[in-house]
Amino acid sequence: MPDTTPVLPEFNPHNRAYHRFFDVLPHLDISVTIDSDTGRPLTFTITDPRSGDAFTVTVDNSLEMTDPHALLAVDRFGEVVAYGPFRDHPTAVANATPLAGTRRLRSVHTIPLHHPDTADLPGTGRRALDTDLVRRVAQGYPDARCCALLLLDRTPGIAELVGPFTDPTTAAMWHRPRPTAHAERFVVPLYRAPRIEGR
């Protein structure tokens, strides 16, 4: 007889959001159902200890940022903004044109998004920007819940992007061990966008 055992979607037990899930709900009782064959979580039952109310959610799959990228662009108000993170370069590219159309963006560039915990930034993470975007980069603290730090050398128009940060002050305070000569620092809003998976 054919094997009728359902095939479970892939789940990475080292997924950082999975581990943080337990950290952000310290006052709730969380029980986990584990698959005996793979060790992956199947369901979470979350209980409110005060009332005893509970609900159960099913774990489908996991998504890891293997090569985080963002889209850097000029919005319809003439300000520089970023969208992301996307899991890799092809996914960022796949989102560029649709996002530019729906959000009325121009001068859209894909750029690696370096995590703030990175000890130093690789030279391969630098990207050339067009003159329209470069001249519109300005100092200021964006009114956004999520931000990125743009390191820009204006003369050649070369940039690096670090993030995400939870607020503009934290972004402005980030420093790399070996600063890039002539690089100016700008905090830009980092917005999440619907993802179209790259091929």
Sign of CA dihedral 16, 193, 156, 135: negative
Residue span of the structural domain in which 30 resides: 1-64
139 located within any domain: yes
198 located within any domain: no
Cβ pair 9, 61 in contact under 8 A: yes
Do both 18 and 31 map to the same domain?
A: yes
Do both 79 and 139 map to the same domain?
A: yes
- pLDDT, tens digit (0-9, with 9 covering 90-100), for 37-94: 888 888 889 888 888 899 898 888 877 777 899 999 999 999 999 999 998 999 999 9
Do both 151 and 166 map to the same domain?
A: yes
186 located within any domain: yes
81 located within any domain: yes
- pLDDT, tens digit (0-9, with 9 covering 90-100), for 162-195: 999 988 989 989 987 666 667 899 999 999 876 6
Mean of pLDDT over the chain: 84
Question: Structure pTM?
Answer: 0.73
Number of domains in the chain: 2
Residue entry with tokens 């319809």 = 76
Do both 179 and 105 map to the same domain?
A: yes
Sign of CA dihedral 124, 168, 191, 128: negative
pLDDT band at 150 (very low <50, low <70, confident <90, very high): very high
Sheet holding 41-47, edge to edge: 29-34, 41-47, 54-58
